[in-house]
Amino acid sequence: MRKTWLIFSQAVTVAVAVLFVVATLKPDWVRRQPGNGLPSIVSISQAPSIQTVSLPPGGSAPSYSGAARRASPAVVSITASKAPARSPHGEDPWFKFFFGEQGAQQREQPQVGLGSGVIVSPEGYLLTNNHVVEGADDIEVQLVDARRAKAKVVGSDPDTDVAVLKITLDKLPVIAFGSAETLQVGDVVLAIGNPFGVGQTVTSGIVSALGRNQLGINTFENFIQTDAAINPGNSGGALVDTNGNLLGINTAIYSRSGGSLGIGFAIPETTARQVMEGLIRDGQVTRGWIGVEPRDLTPEIAETFNLPIKEGVLITGVLQNGPAASGGLRPGDVVVKVADTPVGNTVQLLAAVAALKPKEKAQIGVQRGDKALEISVMVAQRPRSKVVPRQE
């Protein structure tokens, strides 16, 4: 009996081994037809496949060389120098005795700043940042083809940190405008500029966020945030899409070390173009102004004042004899609408008021306690800002 069982177990072992080999090498031999009550063997080719990213011919990663090639010629390096104030001790013999001739000369050397710019028209108009050229006595622009030219400031707008320059050269490369309004978080972008003065550099990344504001950089903020490497010297350079079209002007970074930490901010091309047109046409950007000090309405403030609304802008101060005061606006009022534009925070209020035409009346919708009012205000022109934007 024991011998019989041993023979049987050996036979079963051999049969299982043979079946395994056949199933592995010739699966079609053991596949059953559906409907016979036995599970069918599904080959790997029949199983649902894992989706993979299609690569261009040749199997290489996507290349943005075409976009860089189209946009780079229009991105320039800017050297802005400011003559130092002449020292009253420059010719003082005692001053020279303590600091020496070389020390006296070093104290009178001009201040030089580096930045970038973007050629946006065949006539030679360039977009850059206000903080790149502010206070400069001499501005020189260098193109990728090594040509150099002196630039003059057509106008600047500290409120958005945009400046417009003009150079006179023939056959200028011009960048094409893209559409910042169609941008989405996750879109690939390239940053082109002259970081640290090393020469033109192209970096890539994605759009990390849109509509960034309340950063304390400019008065009017609507930044494109990107993780493309932006460093000092990139200011005024181009943020472009994968077709090489201009999406924004790189303006600032968040950094504790002075280098890129993957958080950079660019002014959208829509804002830059609007400012440029005003500066070229009028020499300044004309914005509405009503003379109020605003603050976001919080749920706590709304509850404290027993307000029936949850969104709006609390007016904490009104300029004496200003447009708002003359129209009847008071501290404690909550602005909910400017003309036909609803406002829910201070950023929206600034933008809505700035869009109003000076010397024209506008209806301001306010909530005063439990009453909803319409106040007519004669809009004035916003005074030119004297605040210097924070640099990179």
What pLDDT digit, counting tens, does each position of 49-106 carry?
A: 334 445 555 556 688 999 999 999 999 999 988 877 655 555 566 555 555 555 545 5
Q: Which CATH superfamily is domain 68-166 in?
A: Trypsin-like serine proteases (2.40.10.10)
Residue 6's pLDDT band (cuts 50, 70, 90): low
288-381 matches 68-166 in CATH topology? no
Catalytic entry in 227, 235, 241, 260: 235
**C-alpha 82: how far from chain center:** 28
Dig out the tokens for 115 from the structure: 């930045």
Angstrom distance (rounded) from CA 100 to CA 186: 58
Q: Determine the Cα angle at 156 with ends 155 and 160, to 5°.
A: 145
Neighbour tally for 251: CB within 10 Å: 32
Annotated active-site residue 235? The verdict is yes
Largest CA distance in the chain: 124
Least-confidence region, from 82-91, 126-135, 298-307: 82-91
Tell me if 73 sits within 8 A of 173, measured CB to CB: yes
Tell whether the model's pLDDT for residue 111 goes beyond 80. no
- Global pTM value: 0.70
> Any idea which residue has 């945009």 for tokens?
162
Which of these, 289, 287, 339, 333, lies nearest to 312 by C-alpha position? 333
Looking at residue 2, what is its pLDDT? 63
Backbone torsions φ then ψ of 250, nearest 5 degrees: -65, 130
Residue 189's DSSP bridge partners are 205
Looking at the structure, give the CATH architecture of the domain made up of residues 180-282.
Answer: Beta Barrel (2.40)
Which of these, 84, 195, 200, 192, lies nearest to 138 by C-alpha position? 84
Residue 80's DSSP bridge partners are 113, 139
Handedness of CA 209, 177, 252, 154 (dihedral sign): negative
Angstrom distance (rounded) from CA 33 to CA 43: 14
Q: Where does residue 321 fall: left (phi above 0), alpha (psi -120 to 50 degrees), or beta otherwise?
A: left
Residue 162's DSSP bridge partners are 129, 157
Annotated active-site residue 179? The verdict is no
Annotated active-site residue 161? The verdict is yes
> Any idea which residue has 């999406």 for tokens?
247
Residue 193's DSSP bridge partners are 201
How is the chain split into domains, by residue range? 68-166, 180-282, 288-381
Tell me if 189 sits within 8 A of 179, measured CB to CB: no
Tell me if 370 sits within 8 A of 348, measured CB to CB: no
Tens-place pLDDT, residues 149-196: 999 999 999 989 999 999 999 999 999 999 998 999 999 999 999 988
Give the type of residue at 85. A
Q: What does DSSP assign to residue 284?
A: S
Catalytic entry in 161, 227, 241, 333: 161
Which of these, 252, 198, 212, 247, lies nearest to 230 by C-alpha position? 252
Looking at residue 254, what is its pLDDT? 80
Q: Which CATH superfamily is domain 288-381 in?
A: PDZ domain (2.30.42.10)
As a whole-number percent, the residues of the chain with pLDDT over 90 amount to 44
Angstrom distance (rounded) from CA 68 to CA 189: 11
Looking at residue 166, what is its pLDDT? 95
Catalytic entry in 72, 77, 116, 131: 131
Tell me if 265 sits within 8 A of 248, measured CB to CB: no
